[in-house]
Amino acid sequence: MNRYPRDMIGYGPDRPDPQWPDGAKIAVQFVLNYEEGGENCLLHGDAGSEGFLSDIPGSQPWEGQRHWNMESIYEYGARAGFWRLHRLFTGRDIPLTIYGVATALARSPEQVDAMKAADWEIASHGLKWVEHRDMPMDEERAQIAEAIRLHTEVVGEPPRGWYTGRCSMNTVSLVAETGVIDYISDTYDDDLPYWSHADGRDQLIIPYTLETNDMRFSGAPGWVTGGDFGDYLIDAFDTLYAEGAEGQTAMMSVGLHCRLIGRPGKISGLKKFLDHIAKHDDVWTPRRIDIAKHWAKTHPPKPIDRPSQLSRQEFVARFGGVFEHSPWIAEGAWDLELGPAHDRPAGVHNALARIFRSASDAQRLEVLRAHPDLAGKLAQAQRLTAESTSEQAGAGLDALTDAERRQFTDLNTAYTDKHGFPLIIAVRDYDKSGILAAFETRIANPTDTEFKEACKQVERIARLRLEDML
């Protein structure tokens, strides 16, 4: 199978209403990443120092050496930055979700006590704050298990949320297979939570952000002043809040780090943002676990049609009749690069139509000739396909007067004699009089014009049938 695994459609144009509590127009969720003491360091058994997310521009790991300046920057996050953020958020009664690296939490018992006393959610941020991209799958699976065990030991209860951050292509499926995590946030692909079917179970995904995130203080393009960060957060909030007022309600994640936003000059922008959202009604500021509980209750997982995952035999059996009596079109569509974007009517239709459009004129003519006359002999003999029977009946063609039947018969004969194929029209787009009017107009057209129009109508009929099926 040539299958494309990435999901490029998501909710598409049909985003669900989150129905946030109390009619909120937006959910603004704050994450504080607690990584200090879990980063790369020789003391932690790593091969070198940390080189990521600090106030040293362009920093690189020092292989085989400790990096005193880097260690001390991370220590600032635990010693000063965390407490500054703790005072800010507890003072405003806004709960946080902590992405806690298990080994970092184990080295910070007083901070863990403060998180628990504030009723903040402590989700897992993995065992160590290190890269996982080259980690063998079995090793990463073992680290996930150890992270959950150590987290439970240190915090007193297991994590219900997960975010690795420096993840591999296997991370989401490996976390999902544990079966004990309520939500995973190692994606950045939507403004709303969604359900993913992984390893035989429905896994809730709550996307995170690298955009409304203070990590951009440490990279380019990034924030220079606290005001830069605050202004960007406000712009994002105002856009989403206005969309929420128009019925396109969404979620805004804000990512924070103790050693970054915890600095005095940077935190001023965060305070500016908190002041801004406090002036607005209908703003919900939950923990991520609160979003997970709400979504599971309000939008539980539902079975999803997945045509892209069908075998060839199953695909052809299901869609082989969408183009009338032409299963070869479904066979050709199955051979294309199908993926999640083809699990909806527009996607399946596009795949089928590609095969039809790329066929020779002779092949397409056979498809046209496979269509029955309107209210013709096959209809009277009840020998139409179920789809054609339903479509013609919906336009009232199964209840014609004798005079109307003779009129259709005469028009069918004249049209076919002239063009070599029956008149094809998506009857669900017309009533009986409209069909007759189209008949009268189209019969006089040149055959090449009618061939093109008939092909368009065949595709339209197929789309309508798929809308019914999916």
268 touches 230 (CB < 8 A): yes
**pLDDT tens-digit map of 99-142:** 999 999 999 999 999 999 999 999 999 999 999 999 999 999 99
d(CA 66, CA 289): 37
**How many Cα atoms within 13 Å fall on the side-chain side of residue 250?**
20
Q: Residue type for 234, please? A: I
The residues assigned a catalytic role are 371
How would you classify residue 375: left for phi > 0, otherwise alpha for psi between -120 and 50, otherwise beta?
left
Q: Is the pLDDT of residue 292 over 80?
A: yes
The SS3 of residue 70 is helix
Tokens of 38: 């879990």
Cα distance between residue 9 and residue 11, in whole Å: 6
pLDDT tens for 75-89 read 999 999 999 999 999
- Stated as kind and residue range, the H or E segment containing 270 is helix 264-278
Q: What is the mean pLDDT of residues 260-280?
A: 98
Q: Distance (Å, rounded) from C-alpha 43 to C-alpha 81?
A: 22
List Cα–Cα distances, 67 to 62, 316, 379, in angstroms.
7, 61, 83
pLDDT digits (tens, 9 = 90+) for 396-445: 666 667 787 888 888 889 999 999 999 998 988 888 888 888 888 999 99
CB atoms within 10 A of CB 397: 20
pLDDT of residue 378: 45
